[in-house]
Each structure stands twice: as structure tokens, then as C-alpha cells.
Structure 1
Amino acid sequence: MEKKNKKYQVIDISKFSDDELADAFIFSQDNKPVTEEDKQADKEFWANRRKEFENRSPREKIFSKLLQLKFQLEDYIGSNDYKESLNFGYFLNEYVSRQDKKDKEFASEVDVTPAVLSQYINNHRKPKDEFVIRLELHSNGMIPALSWFKLVQKDKEHEIKTNSDWRRDESKHVKNRIEMLY
């Protein structure tokens, strides 16, 4: 197999001002006046987009809602902020409701009882690893199990950081603490 040598031109960008670099990579419309024809084309474009959006199939609408949820979940687990309202139960409830399914129907699809699903949604029970894997499988990989696990972990990290009663209770079980020299 013959290898072709590609030649690349190396450009010293330090010779150029920030404005010159921006002009080289950003297409400006400042030089071109907007015509009535442009306005009409823009209006038609957005009318067609709106029509397409309104005429989506129920399946496409659900897919869009779930994709939006996936991005919201990823943004949240990637942030350093913790919001109590954005817990595992919240995202699970959103996942079920954005599919326009009843809890009982969804519980059957992932082989848990409606009572267990309710406990997960209302944060009365932490999800089992098997359940989180089922969520990935149910979404056909759209929302990976790892994202659900990270969400559970984020809840746990917050609990560890903020639960002073827990620390006080556990301190009764610790003897001979290491003395630190500062």
C-alpha cells in the first residue's frame, strides 16, 4: 500500500491581529444588505421548520423529549452544583412521563413492581444496580447506565458532605483517632 505524503502549510498566526484572525474564520453578513427576497426566504424557512415540528410523529416527539432529558441529565452530572430537586427520582419520573406512560406500565417493562418504582421516584429507596442497567437497556442505550449511576453518586456525595447527624452517630464507633500535627 502506497503512502501519500500530504504537505501542510504552516502559518505563523502571531503575525495577525485578533480581528484579522476572526475575519478569516467568521463569515460576516455586515457587508451584504438584507433584501426583501432574503426576508421572504427566511420567513418561508421558519414556516417550514414550524410545520415540520408540528407534524412530527408521536414517536419522534418522545425521542425529542428523551434526548432533551439526556442532555439535561448530562449537564447536571457534569456540573459541580448540587440541587436537591434534581435527584435520581426526579430524572426517573421525567424519563417515565416523557414517554407518556403510566408508572404501572413502565414498571412492568423494566420488571419491578409499581410500589418499588414509586419508591425510586419518591427517593424512598436507592435503585439497585440491576435497575440502573435496565434503564439503559430500556432507552436502547440513549441514556447510559453510567449516567444514572453518576446521578445516584451525586446524591450520595451530597449526603456525605452535609449529614452532620450521620457523622455524630458514627463517631461513637471510632476509637484511637490519629492525632495530626499541623
Structure 2
Amino acid sequence: MSEERSAFVPLNVAVLTVSDTRTEDTDRSGQALVESLATAGHRLADKRIVVDDVYRIRAVVAGWIADPAVQVVLATGGTGFTGRDSTPEAVSVLLDKTIEGFGELFRHLSWQEIGSSTIQSRCLGGLANATVVFCLPGSTGACRTAWDGILREQLDSRHTPCNYANLVIPGRGTHG
């Protein structure tokens, strides 16, 4: 492995909280993601809260996907089955490729914590315009499960045998 491949490369991460009720003061899930990415050495590119509306969600995520300074989008909320939950519908049409295993692995990890209730999670991962996008449930516990069990390693350019970080770093993967 080359010296360049073994060095940690911080990523620019945007965090979106999808909620009809959260504010910056009450957004525990978004804040947990911000703290986790900062602790891991990544940079916060932007953070927003948007109501659970398919077009508003899509507009924010599309803007970040189009922004070459944003390499990762982490969205929390709107992935359940209630009438207003629309994050997967908002984001899925923006993706060039879906990461099928992300939802499967998340639900496997979540099963150990919440049992069969994990079946209601419609979390989603994918790639769009050299940006990796992950849509997570709105609970702080679910965000921690996703970060600790999947995202921390997959956003670390040193993780082997493969990771998503190297797909969004200029000069590697999709940029290469």
C-alpha cells in the first residue's frame, strides 16, 4: 500500500436533519453526527434542518451533490413509514448508484438493539456525482449505530480492503 493510501484524508461532510419539529437547540441526531464526524477528523461542510417535504429535501441534497466541496451527505430523519416520511423518495432519484448493502447492514446491526422494529427503517445509501449519500433514521441511537457500525470505517480512507472515502477523494475512485 502506498504512503498516500495509508494517510488519513479528512472529508467534507454535510449534515441534513429532516424534521417538522426539530430546531438547532433540539436536533440531537444531527448534533451527534456532527460530533462523530469531527471526532473522526472530518470537516463539517454545512448543516441544515429542513421540514419533511420531498421537494425541499431533494433541493438541499441536490445542491450538496452539485457542490464539488461536499464529498459526503449524511441525512437523518424521514426514513420511516409515517405519512410525512419522504427522505428515501426525495433522495433515491438523485443517486447514480445505490449502495444496497448499506440498508441491509444497518438493519442487521439495528436488530441487535431494537429487534424486529428495525424492519421499518428505510435507510438508504448511494453515490451521486462523486458524492456519497447516506440517509439514516431520525433517532440519535440509530445515527450512532450507523456511524459506529458502518460510516466511521467506510469514510476512513485507511480502511481496507475498501471504503467509500477513496471513491470521493480527487485522484482516486470515481475522480481518478
CA radius of gyration, larger in: 1
In terms of fraction of residues, the more helix-rich structure is: 1
Verify same fold: TM over 0.5.
no
TM-score (norm 1): 0.21
In terms of fraction of residues, the more strand-rich structure is: 2
